[in-house]
Amino acid sequence: MKTLTLGLALTLLATQAPAQQTLSTASPIPDGAETRFCYYAGMAYSEDAFVVVFGDNTVTSTISTREERLLRCHRNEDGSLKWRPQSTFQVNK
């Protein structure tokens, strides 16, 4: 019984190595995904989707404005999707 258990354990270990190697080389983003989606903050967005990106103006310590940008997922002439700025807002704090 011990021989059977030991043999089964060794077989399982031997089959895990190729599976782990395959998983480590696999990309989480499929081939050609840049032609179907725009990516921002780990999420995929379809064509014509909008996101608002905002942050503090850190150029100088005397300026206290907050900048917001509206971006749109746009298809380029080569077929790929890219974010294109639609408008920019600056708000005083």
pLDDT of residue 90: 73
pLDDT of residue 51: 93
End-to-end, the C-alpha distance of the chain in Å comes to 74
Which residues have a Cβ under 8 Å from the Cβ of 49 and sit 6 or more positions away? 38, 72, 73
42-81 pLDDT, tens digit per residue, is 888 999 999 998 877 666 666 677 788 899 999 999 888 9
Q: CA–CA separation, 15 vs 66, rounded Å?
A: 55
- Contact between 49 and 37 (Cβ < 8 Å): no
Q: What is the pTM of this model?
A: 0.55
**Position 6 pLDDT exceeds 80:** no
Share of the chain above pLDDT 70, in %: 54
Alpha helices in 2-91 (DSSP H): 2-25
